[in-house]
Amino acid sequence: MMNAKLGCLLAGALVFCGMAHAAGDAQRGQTIVMQGDGSGAPCLACHGLDGAGNDAAGFPRLAGLDAGYLEKQMQDYRTGTRQSAIMAPNVDNLDDQQIADVAAWYASQTAAVPPLPDADSELMAHGERLATRGDWDSYVVPCETCHGPGSEGVGSAFPRLAGQHAGYIKQQLQAWKSGARSNDPDQLMLAIAARLSDEQIEAVATYLARQPMQGDL
Q: Summarize as ranges the residues that interact with ligand HEC (CB under 6 A).
A: 32, 36-37, 40-41, 43, 45-47, 58-60, 62, 65, 70, 72-74, 84, 86-87, 90-91, 102, 130, 140-141, 143, 145-147, 157-159, 161, 164, 169, 172-173, 183-185, 188-189, 192, 204
Q: How far is CA 8 from CA 22, 100, 166, in A?
A: 15, 21, 44
Q: How far apart are CA 102 and CA 36, in angstroms?
A: 10
Q: Which residues are annotated as a binding site for heme c?
A: 43, 46-47, 87, 143, 146-147, 189
Q: Which is nearer to ligand HEC, 8 or 183 (CB)?
A: 183
Secondary structure tally for the chain: helices H, strands E: 11, 0
Task: Tally Cβ neighbours within 10 Å of residue 39.
Answer: 11
Q: For residues 8 and 58, which CB has a smaller minimum distance to ligand HEC in the complex?
A: 58
Known binding-site positions: 43, 46-47, 87, 143, 146-147, 189
Residue 54 dihedral angles phi and psi, to the nearest 5°: -155, 115
Cβ of residue 19: shortest distance to ligand HEC, in angstroms? 19
Closer Cβ to ligand HEC, 26 or 141, answer by number: 141
CB of 115 to ligand HEC, least distance (A): 21
Least distance (Å) between residue 21 CB and ligand HEC: 17
Which amino acid is present at 160?
A: R
The answer to whether the CB of 14 falls within 8 A of the CB of 8 is yes
Q: Shortest approach of ligand HEC to residue 1 CB, angstroms?
A: 33
Nearer to ligand HEC by Cβ, of 11 and 34: the residue is: 34
CA-CA distance, 51 to 118, in Å (whole number)?
23
Cβ-proximal residues to 20 (8 Å cutoff; 6+ apart), any chain = none
